[in-house]
Each structure stands twice: as structure tokens, then as C-alpha cells.
Amino acid sequence: MREFDAAPAQVFRAWTDPELIPQWLGPSGTTMTLIEYNATPGGRYTYVHRNESGEHGFRGVFHTVVTNERIVQTFQYDGRPNDVSLETLTFEDLGGRTRVHIHAVFPSVETRDAMIEDGMEHGVRDSMSHLDKLLAS
């Protein structure tokens, strides 16, 4: 869960607009190449983060996209190609602010722990900080 000083429409746009995604998604010290990003039901996304340790690819499919309210998508890291998680994001209106809930379901506890060890938690924290800055500008 994370709260932002912006209306749900602004936060949702940042989460779904392919022109904005590379400005905030990813850990500090990486650059992003957005290959595909179609935030519509059945749409797909593919992107690559690059840093000193190499390339890290990610992909998924959008299953549900309800404007300013909810996104359900899969998430797959190329470093663990057999482990796909299901993510549900909800955008809660707090009267000019937005609370984003992210619920991720992994195939196993071991998969979840491995993703965290691979840097997922760090990447999410940095991304949320970058998004804060983008929404403030």
C-alpha cells in the first residue's frame, strides 16, 4: 500500500500511459526500454531495465483494467521465466489523494522469497519514490 498526493485519475494515468511509465518504473540506477505497453484488457507489456549488472526483462498481460479504479495483471521476470505472479492494484480515492493497494499472488512462498531476494522489494520502493516525484511535477 502506498499513498500519493494526487487524484486517482493522475495516479492511474501514470500507471497506464506508456509515455510516463519509463519516467518512474524501476530501481534507481537503471534505464528502461519500453518494448510494449498496452494497458487494456488482454493487452501486454514488455520492458527491459539495464544497469551495471546487465539486462533484466519483465513481461505480463493485463486482464482487467477499470479506469481510475483497478488493474489485474500478470507479472513475469525473465530471470525466473517459470514463475508468474498475479497482481491486483486498486486505486482508492482519499479526496485529492490516492491510496494504491498492490496485492501480488505468487505460485509459492519460495517463489515470493526468491523474487524479493532478486531485488523486487528494492525496485518497488524506488519506483514508488520516483512516482511521487513525477506526480509532484
- What is the reported pLDDT for 122? 77
DSSP summary character for residue 84: E
pLDDT at 29 (0 to 100)? 92
pLDDT of residue 81: 87
What pTM was estimated for this model as a whole? 0.92
Question: Which three cell numbers, joined as nine digits, stand for 125?
Answer: 520502493
Residue 6 three-state SS? coil
CATH 3.30.530.20 fits 2-136, yes or no: yes
Residue 53: the pLDDT is 87
pLDDT per residue of the chain (137 residues) written in tens, 0 to 9: 999 999 999 999 999 999 999 999 999 999 999 999 999 999 999 999 999 989 999 999 999 999 999 999 999 999 888 899 999 999 999 999 999 999 999 998 988 888 887 767 778 899 999 999 999 99
Buried residues in 9-22 as b, exposed as e (16+ CB within 10 A): ebbbbbbbeeebbe
Rounded to 5 degrees, φ, ψ at 136 are -75, -20
Residue 84 CB contacts under 8 Å (≥ 6 apart), including other chains: 60, 74, 75, 76, 107
Listed by start position, the domains of the chain span 2-136
